[in-house]
Structure 1
Amino acid sequence: MSHDCSQPAIPDGIYPFDARGVARRLRHAAIFGALDSLNPGEIMRFCNDHDPLPLLAQIQHRYGPRVQAAYLAREAGHVVIDFLVTTH
């Protein structure tokens, strides 16, 4: 499945987060803040220009099984990941 992050039409319960527009030094804090604001069952649809492997490790360490990641796109220059917040 492919997703165009420039399109604002997102179903209820899915919140877009385009990291490309956030200053690098603020990016991880902004992502954690966004994840902290979600309720169980809600999704943050994350868009970026590279695969954020260090970020994924930080999310796993910080949230454990409460946040699950699923790639929607994983191509050079275009990465989209759904972060699902669970009750675990």
Structure 2
Amino acid sequence: MSHDCSQPTGPDGIYPFDARGVAKRFRHAAIFGALDSLNPGEVMRFCNDHDPLPLLNQIGQFFGDRVKVAYVSRQPGQVIIDFLVAA
């Protein structure tokens, strides 16, 4: 499955976030801010060039069960993760 993270995914409550275009020093703050702004039931589709395991750990510690993680793609150079905000 191929996905272009630069393209909007439509009005279905999925919001794209391409981390590759955010300066590294601001990435985690931008990601946490984006997740914090989502409403229950909304999804942030996160794209990155590597598997962000330390970030996922931080998200789990900060948000707990409020944010669910589901990999869409784990291809080298293009990792896509859906973050679902639970109700």
Equivalences for 1:1-88 in 2 at 5 Å? 1-87=1-87
Distance apart, 1:9 and its partner CA = 3.6
| Corresponding residue SS for 1:40 | coil
CA distance in 2 between counterparts of 1:2 and 1:64 reads 30
Unpaired runs of 5+ residues, structure 2, are none
Distance apart, 1:82 and its partner CA = 0.3
Unpaired runs of 5+ residues, structure 1, are none
Aligned residues: 87
CA distance in 1 between counterparts of 2:19 and 2:7 reads 15
TM-score (norm. length: structure 1): 0.92
TM-score (norm. length: structure 2): 0.93
CA distance in 2 between counterparts of 1:23 and 1:42 reads 25
CA distance in 2 between counterparts of 1:40 and 1:46 reads 17
| Corresponding residue SS for 1:59 | helix
How large is the RMSD of aligned CA atoms in angstroms?
A: 1.2
CA distance in 2 between counterparts of 1:42 and 1:9 reads 12
Which string of whole-angstrom CA distances, capped at 9 and with x for unpartnered residues, describes residues 49-78 of structure 1?
000000000000000110001000001101
Aligned-partner residue type, residue 64 of structure 1: G
Identity value in percent:
76
Which string of whole-angstrom CA distances, capped at 9 and with x for unpartnered residues, describes residues 8-45 of structure 1?
24342110000000000000000000000000000000
